[in-house]
Structure 1
Amino acid sequence: MALLRTFLIFAAASGLQRVFASLNDSFTGAGVRAVFPGDGNYASASAAYNLRFTLEPAAVAYPSTPEEVSAIIQAGIDNNLQVVARGGGHSYVANGLGGKNGSLVIDMSSMKNIAVDSSSNTAIIETGNRLGDVALALNAAGRAMPHGTCSYVGIGGHSSFGGYGFTSRQWGLALDTIFAINAVLANGTIVRASEDSYPDLFWALKGAAPSFAITTSIEVNTYPAPSYAIVMEYTWSNMDYEIAAKSMYSFQNFSLAGPASPFSGELVITKGSQEGQVTFGFTGAWYGQKGSAVPTLQSWLDTMPTPTSSSLVGDGSYIDTVAQLSGKNLNTTQAADSTDTFYAKSLMTPEGDPMSFEACSAFMQYLATEGFSSNTNWFVEVELYGGPNSKIREIPNNATAFSRRDTLFTFQLYASSSNSLPPFPEEGFTFVDDMANSITSNMPATWNYGAYTNYIDDQLENWQTLYFNDNYPRLQSLKAQLDPNNVFMFPTSIKE
């Protein structure tokens, strides 16, 4: 028996060596730089942002052109490997490393060109760029686009799955700016997809791109950088959970009334200093007339207790608000990004069926009690998507693969280990799951809530419906047509 085990181990190792040799030959012939197991920089090349995951890809390849991406995909096919793209590398469940061992990773970090066309006010952005670098390049031309606040997040994955940011109520999601996508298909073919060319592929790429192709660049419409912008910050320390429930419910009513589109913001809930309390915060941004930021929010502030602190932050320029909301360098070449050890979930609440006061109360009570005793560092963000003046909701749910346009709030429910290092405490999973359950269990069984694919959750049940809703059957059909051999596969990829 021991001899058989030794033989199987030897055979497996020999097989892997043949795969590595074949990949190396293919990459050398195509002029592609790659890192393999055993190389000195393999550990850093295969490291996940979320340190809950330690994965071993077959190789990490670094293309600099679409033709090189095609060659890498072909090498993966020849060696029966599944292929994934990694942009910024911030997938919450390490999907950019395949979400499992043995995937071939195409790291896009060498493809960072940004070309702004001042005559058409469009831009071509390669998908190795990160959000901070995109913001700086567009701002230098007096332009901007909607995107998230985390400067180190890659534009490729961010725009593939939506791309919400503080300008989204005014301009839409990042994917809404895209009018063409340059990509490489599962058979190695290089295409430019738009509404006129490969329209079905274009539809799928705007909401579920990594399941269908490797995106090399996006072509986007841009907006004039606002002439005035400011960040608003309010904090209510040690708020009793009953008052916090009333505060969240009143913010929901305010949001349903439809604040002006240059306004957006989020509630930020963290641990209180004693059981039964939370720290309740609001961060907002205004991209309109100077002096109108606080008046836009005033009707909600009038329902609130006196804040512990409040301030307007920034010098009035658009790019300063991007920097203030990021909290990090926008130039991502100046310093390395940090890592974390965490578990996160999301919840997208339908605008047409908002949360009951009972659900708000149960949620805040849970945070004020279980959240006080949790051995994790946690936060909750309640991001404002909808309301009558939101650009996001103007597009039908079936217009792109992104299916949750009728959302009022998107919750990000996030807990890190106490020191941000492994291991993540086992009870932390239940703690975060029950954050979401405290809301959903106090709503009708038919409540059509969703989840946000940029806050991807590898333990989410019924994820196909929660992420893609009625669009999932069409995505399955297109997967069968465009990637019948399942070349682009990871734990939450579209399944036939």
Structure 2
Amino acid sequence: MRPSTLFIPHLLSLCALIGSVLAQDLSALLGQEDPGADISIVLPGQTGFANASRPFNLRFDFEPAAVAFPTSAQEISDIIKLGNKVNHNVVARSGGHSYVANGLGGKNGSIVVDLRNFQKITVDDRAGTAVIEMGNRLGDIVTALAAHGRGLPHGTCPYVGIGGHAVYGGFGFTSRLWGLTIDTIQSIDLVLANGTVTTASEKLNPDLFFAMRGAGSSFGIATAITVKTFPAPPTATIFSYNWQLTASEAAAFFSTYQSFVLTTNLPPEFGAEIVLTPGNVQGNVTVGLAGGWYLPIERLNATLKPFFDRVPPPRAASFDTGDYLHSAVNLAGGSLDTSSAPDGTDTFYAKSLMTPEASPISERALAAWMNTLANEGFNAPVGWFIQAELFGGRNSAINAVKSTATAFARRTSLFTIQFYASSHGNVPPYPAGGFTFLDGKSQPPLYLPANWDFGAYTNYIDDRLANWQKLYYADNYPRLRRLKDEFDPRGVFVFPTSIQR
């Protein structure tokens, strides 16, 4: 259902309304032919605007020039052309979960194209593919594909929109088996900065296809993706182990795990993350090992035995075994439904670190890191967690893709570590001490070679990250800049972390 909006039957009227808000002189448009567009929008001050422009991360409070709710690619084209005429940036919003509110433009004054009306999912059982429109949330996608016995690699939060998730990466516990979400994309339907409606694939607009898979929001507004799907595993187990460790024990634990995943012939059906949270007393760290296992559960114990033989016994463990859909419901917190309750919000700051397989985190760095988390982290002015997600190791489908095949360049990483801290009560304001803690003390000191090829993950986007161009895109960034000049020479799709012209 659309929000309370104002229906504009003519593009000239839309121009006039937005132009009045922007104080723009649109007299040059008076002679323009009416394309007959029926576009629903909300403007600042109108009923529904506050809800339509609400960010997921309440640390931000941007005011778009307008939020539009198109129903077709042609309507998106009309909006983009309008953005060109009134000299305002245009951004797409799928689920609205950008960590830095890039779906609202990442600043004031952008025109937001909300894709919530693009919700079709069409599954081709014979080909094993699906066409997914970009207004779909992950929970809806899981449910629709499971009805056909299929699955797709992606994250766990049911409210996340597929749009930003797919064009920047898309990681889940099946990613070592199936790859990132972007790796499943066979073609993308999109609208370019000049309003052209087109398709990109390996054969059609291959340079654009490269750029859209990893940096998509800088190059176009995707309306649908055609993806390869996978047979849903007949059995899946969501597992969790928990330890309460001293700082030195936690450092040894992480070092042992790092060695285990580097040297063991782990099956790709093993997906996991180490979760670090404050300890029960100062000097301790709460350590979890959680993940998904997509083979019969009997083989899980044998796979993990070499690791468990080298670490203290867990104080608690849980296993939930069922079919693939059941595992997705578990990871979603008990429900994939995105319609019966509103999406939540948070007030937070997040960072990421992608560690290279070729140069693991040193024991010296791990010892210093865990000591800081156990002591200063215990008294941090924010609630925090750290997730070390396993991207690499032997048999990883993520790292089987060449770094130059997509704009997503980090294909030799072992861990993607997310550092996430929320204000108390999850409401504004975010305390200044939260930035200090996360920017420095939450992360391992880099007692590593000067040329340590670490990176950062674009779906954990960070508006305070220095040298983000290199950390996110590595050696692919110069090519992306050239393609930005080709596909968006006027800078329509520009936001704080967009590819620069």
Change (3 A) 1:460 1:392: same
Identify the range of structure 1 (431-440 vs 301-310) with the bigger mean alpha-carbon deviation.
431-440
Q: For each residue in 1:332-353, what CA deviation from the matched residue of structure 2 results, as whole angstroms up to 9, or x when unmatched?
A: 1121111000000000000111
Q: Secondary structure at the match of 2:277?
A: strand
Give the 5 Å matches for 1:101-180. Answer: 101-180=108-187
Separation in structure 2 between the aligned mates of residue 27 and residue 47 of structure 1, nearest angstrom: 32
Alignment partner, residue 235 of structure 1 = 242
**3-state SS of paired residue (2:456):** coil
- Whole-angstrom distance in 1 between the partners of 2:99 and 2:33: 31
User: What is the distance in 2 between the residues matched to 1:267 and 1:405?
Assistant: 20
| SS in structure 2 of the partner of residue 30 of structure 1 | coil
Q: Who is 1:248 aligned against?
A: 254
Give the superposition deviation at 1:301.
Answer: 1.4
Partner of residue 42, structure 1: 49
Question: Secondary structure in 2 aligned to 1:312?
Answer: strand
Aligned-partner SS, 2:319: strand
Distance 2:340 2:298 in 1: 34
The answer to whether residue 488 in structure 2 is matched with residue 450 in structure 1 is no
Please show how residues 39-118 of structure 1 align to structure 2 within 5 Å. Answer: 39-118=46-125
CA drift of 1:375 comes to 1.5
Q: Is the 8 A contact 2:19 2:25 kept in 1?
A: no
Correspondence for 1:366: 372
For the pair 1:298 / 2:305, whether they are aligned, the reply is yes
Tell me if structure 1 keeps the 8 A contact 2:275–2:385: yes
**Conserved in 1, the CA contact under 8 Å of 2:353 and 2:418?**
yes
Aligned AA for 1:170?
A: L
Pairwise CA RMSD of aligned residues? 1.9
Q: Deviations over 1:394-452 (max 9, x none)?
A: 11111110000111000000000011000000011010011465332x22221110000
Task: Provide the rounded CA distance (Å) in 2 between the counterparts of 1:366 and 1:169.
Answer: 31
Aligned equivalents of 1:71, 1:153: Cα separation in 2:
26
Look up the SS of the partner of 1:439 in the other structure.
Answer: coil
Alignment of 1:298-317 (within 5 A): 298-314=305-321, 316-317=322-323
Structure-2 residue corresponding to 1:187: 194
Identity of aligned residues (%): 51
Q: Out of 315, 328, 331, which is 1:325 matched to? A: 331
* In structure 1, distance between residues paired with 2:188 and 2:499: 19
Separation (CA, whole Å) in 2 of partners of 1:430 and 1:379: 15
- Superposition map of 1:335-346 within 5 A: 335-346=341-352
Per the alignment, do residues 323 and 409 of structure 1 end up closer, same or farther by CA in structure 2, a change over 3 Å counting?
same
Provide Cα deviations, 1:467-496, integer angstroms capped at 9, x if missing partner: 000000000000001000000000000002
Matched AA of 2:478: P
Q: 1:437 to 1:331 in 2, by over 3 A?
A: closer
- TM superposition shift of 1:40: 1.2
Q: What one-letter code is carried by the residue in structure 2 that aligns with 1:363?
A: W
Structure 1 residue ranges without an equivalent (≥5): 1-11
Distance 1:72 1:135, change over 3 A: same
Label 1:403 to 1:13 Cα distance change in 2 as closer, same or farther (>3 A).
closer
* TM-score where L is the length of structure 1: 0.94
The answer (yes or no) to whether the contact 2:19–2:26 under 8 Å persists in 1 is no
Take 2:82 and 2:158, find their aligned partners in 1: how far apart are those partners? 33
**Which residue of structure 1 aligns with residue 203 of structure 2?**
196
Deviates more, 1:294-303 or 1:398-407: 294-303
2:386 is paired with a residue of what secondary structure? strand
Alignment of 1:205 with 2:212, yes or no, is: yes
Alignment of 1:254-273 (within 5 A): 254-257=260-263, 258-273=265-280
Question: How many pairs were matched up?
Answer: 481
Query: 1:401–1:471: 8 Å Cα contact kept in structure 2?
Result: yes
Q: Taking structure 2 as the reference length, what is the TM-score of the superposition? A: 0.93
